[in-house]
Amino acid sequence: MSIVFHPEAQEFHLFNDQVSCVLEVMANGHIGNLYYGKRIADVPSFAYLHEDRDRPLTAINAPWPSAFSLNYLRQDYPAFGTTDYRYPAYKIRRENGSEIMDFKYVSHSISAGKPSMAPLPATYVEHDSAADSLAIELFDAVTATRLILHYTMFADLPVLARHTEFIQEGEESLCLEQAMSLNLDLPDADYEWVHLYGAWARERHIRVSPLAEGLQSIYSMRGTSSAEHNPFIALKRPAADETSGEVIAASLVYSGNFLGQVEVSTDRETRLQLGIHPNNFRWNLAKGNSFVTPEAVLVYSDQGLGGMSHAFHDLWNNYLVRGEYKNTPRPILLNNWEATFMNFTEADILRIASKAAEAGAELFVLDDGWFGKRDDDFAGLGDWKVNLKKLPNGIKGLSEKVEAMGMKFGLWIEPEMVNEDSDLFREHPDYVLTDPERFASPSRHQYILDFSRKEVVDNIHAQVSAVIRDAKISYIKWDMNRYLSEVYSRGTDAGQQGEVLHRYILGVYDLYDRLTTEFPDILFESCSSGGARFDPGLLYYAPQAWCSDDTDAAERMRIQYGTSLVYPNSSIGAHVSAVPNDQVGRTTPLQTRANVAFFGAFGYELDLNHLPADEFAAVKEQIVFYKEWREVCQFGTFHRLINPFGGNDMAWISVAKDQKRAILGYYQILGLPNPRLLRVYPRGLCQDAVYEVRNQASGAVLRLPGSVIEHAGLPIDRDLLRELGGDFASLLLTFTEVD
């Protein structure tokens, strides 16, 4: 890995053995992009890739006879108002109303390692040898504003991380109206674009569309990263598939509003941008103020979408997740939500917990309903004191009883919210994020607390940390069950209202930071009405996220398949729940529910006391099985084998990093009459090693070399699937290397 500066050519080459990025200081002092893609050799100059052309209807950004125009030049952080008519990466308004800026190269520095971005979450390295970083400094002489472009190249992954910093040193008060984290200009438009699209209970479905001239975008203006779109975009060559072809992907390490867009120009160049959504964003750059954009990471793969996912999974697991649970198998939990909702007594909870302990679960999680006057969703949020009517021995007493059963104890909180019927609201109505002259729109009968204000975060921190300190708590599920609507802070000046959305997210990160620092042993799981805030920003604090409120096995296949594009199984909270399923009314086999949830941070979400004896025995077996296989399921290299979108089958495999073991899940949606023959082609095995392949449903065993398994494939036993009930039947195959 290296970052090289060629002084004569004024070019930077950032590369490792997989990817290269070449930047230049252009004649006007701006930074141009000459190349991004597969690793190429370093040469003294790539200047031939800088294409000045005199073209019709093109304004020239230099005195005649130059042909220098930003109209078509590939730039790294383009501005409005020069000669580029495409979407700019940033926008600054001056006191005189002008939006023309001219940041010119001043200097740069190259260093080993990666600087921290605190208080923003970001990827990090533990040793300087794991990454090199480049900071390019530019200056606008008229306003005396500094712009620093930051880049980090990781040594062992095809990943370039980026962010941008604005620092106002001049006297003028500037207004930063847009600041993307990433701009990437590419020389052609021969791509399809891929993103994750959804809604509540059907998050992160995969969408692949051709690129068209003009703009295509995804975004969130909901105050959180959202269930509707995920802060991720990929450009893939049309022929690229799961294993081959070029993919360029970007992900934003951020949990609030974002915009991701792809612009195809008339010259068929592509501009990819990702960053905070400019709507409702205005940051004051008065003298001494600065702004740092969230981090964006760029992944390059020449091994298709599979290669892209492997890079993301390794990046998040090795360089984003922190703490005790980094690369550590996650406890098998049982959560009481779908078993009781908010209607429970301590005796009910102990009965459910004791059955969970008998089944072999390692963690019991008490969900919503334990605090304040929380008997339904009209009351209680904001009052983080145990409801002694339901739990007379408090959380302390309950947690001790659960621990005495041999399990850890976990607790649900929703710290960013308040109900009108709560002591907190009665005491501090101004803590609600809303315009007091307007109607405050409730959602699930709750309001958003103004986390852009430190005193609000302080109040919630004091309450929540007291509960945690008092009891034996090993896990916290941090929920967030509505989007932001009337975004107005009563603790903020008129001139800073445009900062509130970002400051809100900084407040969320602040509380996460305080709690994870004070309680480093606790495993945090983020949640937002299921998976409405599943993003890398939160993975920095909470290594796993509840993937979806939809626990139906057939729906989960698609949700988890889509989620795996960017996020590793270790981060995907996945539970077996009761049937008929609460969200869709469907009944799927118990084993299939488990076979889907195994490929995630696994648990149960039902009262095991209600299961017939044979099903309870099956649950016990599932837990024994999973304890043996979870490390492979959660931390193996994950390959998507058969895509469920639009088809009747799905398959995936997770292969241990040392390739000695692997586990494959095959799932059929409906049982079909006289079904066609089907083979599944596993991937990621060691070609020469011999594996024992065990069909967990039938017990049938094969012994075959990896090359045979991968290339000749494994026939799917359709008769067995019919015996297993046909509809929603599934098979698990385990692979163990034998001598």
Q: How many residues bind ligand GLA (CB under 6 A)?
A: 11
Q: Where are the beta strands (DSSP E) in 94-237?
A: 104-112, 131-140, 145-154, 159-168, 174-186, 192-197, 205-210, 214-220, 232-236
Nearer of residues 256 and 530 to ligand GLA, judged by Cβ:
530
Nearer of residues 307 and 530 to ligand GLA, judged by Cβ:
530
The SS3 assignment for 560 reads helix
Q: Does 550 bind ligand GLA (CB under 6 A)?
A: no
Closest residue to ligand GLA using C-beta atoms: 368
Among 203, 263, 367, 450, binds ligand GLA (CB under 6 A): 367
Residue that has been written with the tokens 């290269």 in this structure: 20
Nearer of residues 80 and 337 to ligand GLA, judged by Cβ:
337
Nearer of residues 507 and 530 to ligand GLA, judged by Cβ:
530
Q: How far is the CB of 198 from ligand GLA (least distance, A)?
A: 14
Tell me the backbone φ, ψ of residue 214, rounded to 5 degrees: 100, -155
Nearer of residues 49 and 342 to ligand GLA, judged by Cβ:
342
CA 295 from centroid of its chain's CA atoms: 13
- Report the alpha-carbon distance of residue 468 to residue 288 in Å, rounded: 39
316: left (phi over 0), alpha (psi -120 to 50) or beta: alpha
Contact 583, 549 (CB under 8 A): yes
Q: Does 591 bind ligand GLA (CB under 6 A)?
A: no
Among 529, 563, 622, 634, binds ligand GLA (CB under 6 A): 529
Q: Does 24 bind ligand GLA (CB under 6 A)?
A: no
Among 334, 411, 527, 597, binds ligand GLA (CB under 6 A): 527
| Stretch of residues binding ligand GLA (CB under 6 A), selected from 233-241, 510-518, 524-532, 647-655 | 524-532
Residue type, 61: N
Picking from 656, 666, 652, 661, the residue whose alpha carbon sits closest to that of residue 695 is 666
Q: How far is the CB of 642 from ligand GLA (least distance, A)?
A: 29
48 secondary structure, DSSP code: G
| Stretch of residues binding ligand GLA (CB under 6 A), selected from 18-26, 66-74, 526-534, 607-615 | 526-534
Nearer of residues 412 and 431 to ligand GLA, judged by Cβ:
412
Among 409, 546, 561, 602, binds ligand GLA (CB under 6 A): 546
| Stretch of residues binding ligand GLA (CB under 6 A), selected from 26-34, 42-50, 215-223, 525-533 | 525-533
Picking from 76, 8, 83, the residue whose alpha carbon sits closest to that of residue 53 is 83
Q: How far is the CB of 665 from ligand GLA (least distance, A)?
A: 23
Q: Does 337 bind ligand GLA (CB under 6 A)?
A: yes
Contact 467, 409 (CB under 8 A): no
Residue type, 419: N
- Report the alpha-carbon distance of residue 144 to residue 106 in Å, rounded: 12
Q: Does 552 bind ligand GLA (CB under 6 A)?
A: no
Nearer of residues 317 and 446 to ligand GLA, judged by Cβ:
446
Q: Does 412 bind ligand GLA (CB under 6 A)?
A: yes
| Stretch of residues binding ligand GLA (CB under 6 A), selected from 385-393, 523-531, 607-615, 678-686 | 523-531
DSSP for 365-395 reads EE-S-SBTT-SSTTB-TT--SB-TTT-TTHH
Q: How far is the CB of 559 from ligand GLA (least distance, A)?
A: 13
The SS3 assignment for 705 reads strand
Among 228, 479, 552, 555, binds ligand GLA (CB under 6 A): 479
Q: Does 530 bind ligand GLA (CB under 6 A)?
A: yes
- Report the alpha-carbon distance of residue 360 to residue 371 in Å, rounded: 28
Among 346, 368, 416, 525, binds ligand GLA (CB under 6 A): 368
Contact 315, 566 (CB under 8 A): no
* Cis peptide, bond prior to residue 238, ω within 30 of zero: no
Among 16, 301, 303, 481, binds ligand GLA (CB under 6 A): 481
Query: Residue 197: beta bridge partners?
Result: 205, 229
The catalytic site residues sit at 479, 549
Q: How far is the CB of 337 from ligand GLA (least distance, A)?
A: 5
Picking from 45, 40, 73, the residue whose alpha carbon sits closest to that of residue 58 is 73
- Report the alpha-carbon distance of residue 457 to residue 504 in Å, rounded: 10
Nearer of residues 285 and 448 to ligand GLA, judged by Cβ:
448
Q: How far is the CB of 53 from ligand GLA (least distance, A)?
A: 54
Query: Which residue ranges make up the site for ligand GLA (CB under 6 A)?
Result: 337, 367-368, 412, 479, 481, 527, 529-530, 546, 549
